[in-house]
Amino acid sequence: MTFSVAVVGASGYAGGELLRVLADHPEFEVRTVTANQSAGLPLGEVAPHLRSLAHLTLRETTPEVLAGHDVVFLALPHGMSGAITEGLDPQTLVVDCGADHRLTDEAEWATFYGGDFYGAWPYGLPELLHGGTGGYGKQREQLVGVKRIAVPGCNVTAVTLGLAPGLRAGVISPQDLVAVLAVGPSGAGKSLKPHLLASEILGSAMPYAVGGTHRHVPEIRQNLQLTGAGAVSISFTPVLVPMSRGILATATARLEPGVSAADVRAAWELAYNGEPFVHVLPAGRFPKTADVVGANTALIGLAVDEAAERVVTITAIDNLVKGTAGAAVQSANIALGLPETLGLTVNGVAP
Residue 36 vs residue 190, higher pLDDT: 36
pLDDT band with cut points at 50, 70 and 90 for residue 86:
confident
**Residue 183 amino acid letter:** V
Q: What average pLDDT does the structure give for the chain?
A: 95
Residue 195 vs residue 231, higher pLDDT: 231
**Residue 78 amino acid letter:** H
**Residue 7 amino acid letter:** V
Question: How confident is the model over 161-170, as a mean pLDDT?
Answer: 98
Question: How confident is the model over 330-343, as a mean pLDDT?
Answer: 99
Pick from 236, 219, 225, 224: nearest CA to 101:
219
Cross-strand pairs, 182: 239, 248
Pick from 171, 153, 156, 315: nearest CA to 253:
171
At 163, is the secondary structure helix, strand, or coil?
Answer: helix
Burial letters for 153-179: b for 16+ Cβ neighbours within 10 Å, e otherwise? bbbbbbbbbbbbbbbbbbbbbbeebbb
The pLDDT assigned to 133 comes to 61
Q: Which residues fall within 8 angstroms of residue 347, CB to CB, at 6 or more apart?
A: 294, 295
Instruction: Kindly tell me if the per-residue pLDDT of 332 is higher than 70.
Output: yes
At 113, is the secondary structure helix, strand, or coil?
Answer: coil
The pLDDT assigned to 197 comes to 72
Domain extents in the chain: 3-121, 155-319
Instruction: Kindly tell me if the per-residue pLDDT of 76 is higher than 70.
Output: yes
The pLDDT assigned to 37 comes to 86
At 304, is the secondary structure helix, strand, or coil?
Answer: strand
pLDDT in tens, 41-50: 999 999 999 9
Question: How confident is the model over 191-198, as a mean pLDDT?
Answer: 66
Instruction: Kindly tell me if the per-residue pLDDT of 195 is higher than 90.
Output: no
Burial letters for 101-113: b for 16+ Cβ neighbours within 10 Å, e otherwise? bbbeeeebbeebb
| Dihedral pair phi/psi, residue 109, rounded to 5° | -60, -45
**Residue 258 amino acid letter:** G
Instruction: Kindly tell me if the per-residue pLDDT of 192 is higher than 60.
Output: no
pLDDT band with cut points at 50, 70 and 90 for residue 199:
low
The pLDDT assigned to 4 comes to 98
pLDDT in tens, 301-313: 999 999 999 999 9
CATH, domain 3-121, list 3.40.640.10, 2.40.50.140, 3.40.190.10, 3.40.50.720: 3.40.50.720
Set 8, 30, 84, 154: catalytic member: 154
The pLDDT assigned to 191 comes to 60
Instruction: Kindly tell me if the per-residue pLDDT of 200 is higher than 90.
Output: no
Instruction: Kindly tell me if the per-residue pLDDT of 17 is higher than 70.
Output: yes
**Residue 116 amino acid letter:** D
| Structural class in CATH, domain 155-319 | alpha beta
The pLDDT assigned to 59 comes to 97
Instruction: Tell me the percentage of the chain whose pLDDT exceeds 70.
Output: 95
What whole-number distance in Å separates Cα of residue 167 and Cα of residue 153?
20
At 250, is the secondary structure helix, strand, or coil?
Answer: strand
Lowest-confidence region among 34-38, 46-50, 103-107, 193-197: 193-197
pLDDT in tens, 113-124: 999 999 999 999
Told to judge if 154 belongs to the known catalytic residues of this protein, a careful annotator would answer: yes
Pick from 105, 101, 143, 142: nearest CA to 121:
101
The pLDDT assigned to 290 comes to 96
